[in-house]
Amino acid sequence: MPRKLKIDFVSDIACPWCAIGLGGLEEALTRLQDVVEPEIAFHPFELNPDMAAGGENTLEHIVRKYGISADEARNNRERIKARAADVGFTMNTSDDSRIYNTFDGHRLLAWAKVEGRQHELKRQLLALNFTEQADPGDRDRLVAAAEKAGLDPVAARDVLDSGRYADDVRKEELHWRQMGINSVPAVVVNDRYLISGGQPPEEFERQLRHIAQQD
C-alpha cells in the first residue's frame, strides 16, 4: 500500500523557483502514486514583505537586490523560464515584468485550505503572477483566481475585504522562519526531512522514495 507522507510546501507566489518546485513535486508524485499517498499543505513565505502596492520592475529589483548586471539577470530569467517549461509551467516574464506584494494572496490561500481547495488556488495564483503577468495583490484578479480554483467568489471577496487570516499568515511566516526556513521553496516531509529549492522531478522522486522507505 502507498505510504502516507505529510508534505509542507513553504513558498511565495512571487517566487519563480516555487512554481518550478511545485511542478517538479507534482510530477514526482504522479510517478510515485503506487508508493506515496501525499497530504500537501501550502504555507506562506514573503520574499518582499515590504513591497508597496503596484510593485516594481522585476529586472531592476533583481539587479539591485543581488548586485548583478541586467544581462546576468536576463540570462537567469531565460534559464528559469526553460526550467519552468520542463515541468509544464509557462512563464511569460520579460523586461517589463513586475514583482508585487503577495500578502493578500497568502491570506486567500489560508482560507482556501479551510475550504479544501488550497492546492488548486496555489496553481491559479502562480499562473496569475507568472503566466498572466498580473498583480496578485489586485483583489479583483484574486477573486477571479479563487473562482477558477472552484471557490465561491463572493466568499473570497469577503475574506479579502475583511482582513481575515492576516494574523494566521503572520504567525505561520514566523513559525517557519523560527524553524530555520530562510529561502524558498522549502518542502518539509513528515516534519523531519527538508528538500530545498526548485528541484527537478527526478530529485523529488528519489528523495520521496527514500523517505517512504525510511518512515
pLDDT value of position 34: 96
**H/E segment holding residue 157:** helix 153-162
Residue count of the chain: 215
| Backbone torsions φ then ψ of 185, nearest 5 degrees | -75, 150
In CATH terms, the fold of domain 3-214 is: Glutaredoxin (3.40.30)
The C-alpha cell that represents 30 in the structure block: 504522479
| Backbone torsions φ then ψ of 64, nearest 5 degrees | -70, -45
CA dihedral for 192, 194, 200, 202, sign (positive or negative): negative
The tens place of each residue's pLDDT in the chain, 215 residues long, gives 899 999 999 999 999 999 999 999 999 999 999 999 999 999 999 999 999 989 999 999 999 999 999 999 999 999 999 999 999 999 999 999 999 999 999 999 999 999 999 999 999 999 999 999 999 999 999 999 999 999 999 999 999 999 999 999 999 999 999 999 999 999 999 999 999 999 999 999 999 999 999 86
Pairing label, strands 3-11, 36-44: parallel
- Note the helical H segments in 42-165: 58-66, 70-86, 103-115, 118-126, 139-148, 153-162
